[in-house]
Amino acid sequence: MRIDPYKTLGVDKKASEADIKKAYRKLARKYHPDVNPGDKQAEEKFKELSTAYDILSDPNKKAEYDNLGQEAFFDRGFGGTGYQQPNFNMNDFPWGDIFADLFGGGAKTTTRTGRRGSSTFSFDNFGGFGQQSFVPTKGQNREHTLTLDFRDAVKGLDITMKLDVPEPCSKCGGKGRNEKSGKVCSACRGQGSVMKPETIKTHIPAGVKDGQKIRLRGKGYPGQDGGAPGDLELLVKVNPDSVFTRDNDGNLSMEKKISLYLALLGGKVEIPNISDKAYLTIPPGTQNGAKFRLKGKGVVTDKKTGDLYVTVKVVLPADLSPEAAETVEKLQELAPLPQEEIG
Ligand SMILES: [Zn+2]
């Protein structure tokens, strides 16, 4: 349900808490399903009002809505915490004082399990709305951080985790209530599922990135009234590597030290690689800092194949013996560097 809560309640952005409550109460009385039995439009309107009030009566949600705007607020499905619609089945919703006002006192409190207010009021006998109020509601998503080694993230791997996950309640068959009596199931408190430890095995695909989320359906929190459980979102954290760095296009980079002689004469050198051995051919006369590309030796996913960039660092011999120094002097005579090349 995407609404502009200010429009729905007919208040402006500067409206006070009291104004918001007043506006909601007035409209809620008008559109309440009990006053409009069987009127789907009124029921829809009432749900919109409830959603609007849920947002504007909560300073955090209100601030979030004001900051993000309508689209982003309702849109943060994947990744964000997402806006959870209020449960129209009366759970987790500030019905107490609203109903006290609507019906002249009575229901001061509601409880998760009983869904009953005081002796003068019972949601279970709540006219037309009572029947429709037990709409299956999807459970909330849950986030779990998964820390991976750099190379595992590049190659992909199978993981095993032990976590509590929702399982259909065996007592009520996942319905959340006794089908005959309509009573809330005591085993799952009407949620339709219960949390149980489970060993989760899943494959992390090659090329996952730091900050990426992997969704495991149905492994979040239980739903309500037989609603599907939420999802588990694995937030991937990738540890840095001692050799490689990685860019967003799946290319890897590394530095390779080579000797002065290899740089001068050229040759082949083995370089560390994520999956198999790789060799780099150094052409004669390779300069310090030269960068080479090894095609396809980067991050390989179903979608694309990255490359490996190797920057060479030429290492000079230290402490030349007099004899060695003499040879280098000879080399200098034989292969002088033009002045313009060395500045
Ligand atoms: Zn149950």
What separation in Å is there between the alpha carbon of 169 and the centre of ligand 1?
4
What separation in Å is there between the alpha carbon of 80 and the centre of ligand 1?
29
Say what the alpha-carbon torsion angle 144, 148, 152, 155 is, to the nearest 10 degrees: 50
What separation in Å is there between the alpha carbon of 220 and the centre of ligand 1?
17
What separation in Å is there between the alpha carbon of 85 and the centre of ligand 1?
22
Token pair belonging to 211 = 């900050």
Residues, Cβ < 5 Å to ion ligand 1? 169, 171-172, 185, 187-188
pTM attached to this predicted model? 0.55
What separation in Å is there between the alpha carbon of 269 and the centre of ligand 1?
65
Mean pLDDT by 10 residues, the chain (343 residues): 86 87 83 75 82 83 80 59 51 41 37 34 39 72 95 95 90 86 88 90 94 94 86 96 94 97 96 85 97 94 93 95 95 89 80
What separation in Å is there between the alpha carbon of 177 and the centre of ligand 1?
6
Structural domains of the chain sorted by starting position, each given as residue range(s) with its CATH number in brackets: 138-240 (2.60.260.20), 245-342 (2.60.260.20)
- Tell me the C-alpha distance between 343 and 88, whole Å: 78
Q: Which residues pair with 199 in a beta bridge?
A: 162
Chain centroid to CA 261 = 51
- The reported pLDDT for the residue numbered 85 is 59
**C-alpha distances out from residue 254 to 149, 268, 293, Å:** 17, 17, 11
What separation in Å is there between the alpha carbon of 195 and the centre of ligand 1?
11
What separation in Å is there between the alpha carbon of 243 and the centre of ligand 1?
53
**C-alpha distances out from residue 74 to 86, 137, 190, 215, Å:** 13, 17, 26, 19
What separation in Å is there between the alpha carbon of 188 and the centre of ligand 1?
4
Amino acid at 251: N
What separation in Å is there between the alpha carbon of 341 and the centre of ligand 1?
81
- H-only helix segments in the chain: 5-9, 17-31, 40-56, 59-75, 95-102, 127-132, 150-155, 260-265, 322-334, 339-342
- Tell me the C-alpha distance between 62 and 50, whole Å: 14
Strand order in the sheet with 232-238: 142-148, 232-238, 213-216
Chain centroid to CA 263 = 47
What separation in Å is there between the alpha carbon of 140 and the centre of ligand 1?
18
- The reported pLDDT for the residue numbered 76 is 60
Return the axis-axis angle of helices 95-102 and 17-31, rounded to nearest 10°. Answer: 60
What separation in Å is there between the alpha carbon of 183 and the centre of ligand 1?
10
What separation in Å is there between the alpha carbon of 86 and the centre of ligand 1?
21
Q: How would you class 339 by CB atoms within 10 Å of its CB: exposed for 0-12, middle for 13-18, buried for 19 or more?
A: exposed
